């Protein structure tokens, strides 16, 4: 009986450890502006649609990518550059993409 209880506890601990839990998920839906120093972009309009944890990114060229939250501070655009990642900064008001692009919530 004791062995069975110990085995059950081990299974419960393993399940709890492997389930990711995000403390905070930002609401990224809405209009964003591209401020990318390397390209000289100064406010081109982009958009994010967020619904039930799924994301759709639409850039200034109307190119779309499905996406998702990788963790609390990282999103992934699956269809761009093999899974382009962005870090969420400024309390959810800025996305810093791995390719150097920067999206912000409001115009400068």
**pLDDT tens-digit profile of 69-102?**
999 999 999 999 999 999 999 999 999 999 999 9
Distance between CA atoms of residues 103 and 95, nearest Å: 5
Report residue 85: phi and psi, to 5°. -100, 150
- pTM (2 d.p.): 0.75
CA 2 and chain centroid, separation: 44
**pLDDT tens-digit profile of 2-53?**
566 555 555 444 433 443 455 457 999 999 999 877 777 778 999 999 998 8
Whether 98 contacts 84, CB under 8 Å: yes
Distance between CA atoms of residues 91 and 41, nearest Å: 23
Distance between CA atoms of residues 15 and 9, nearest Å: 10
């Amino acid at each position: 009986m004791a062995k069975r209880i110990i085995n059950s506890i081990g299974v419960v601990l393993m399940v709890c450890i492997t389930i990711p839990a995000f403390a905070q998920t930002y609401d990224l839906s809405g209009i964003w502006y591209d401020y990318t120093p390397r390209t000289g972009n100064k406010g081109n309009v982009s958009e994010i649609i967020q619904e039930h944890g799924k994301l759709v990114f639409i850039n200034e060229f109307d190119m779309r990518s499905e996406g998702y939250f990788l963790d609390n501070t990282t999103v992934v655009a699956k269809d761009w550059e093999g899974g382009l990642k962005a870090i969420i900064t400024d309390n959810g008001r800025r996305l810093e993409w791995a390719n150097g692009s920067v999206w912000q919530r409001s115009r400068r």
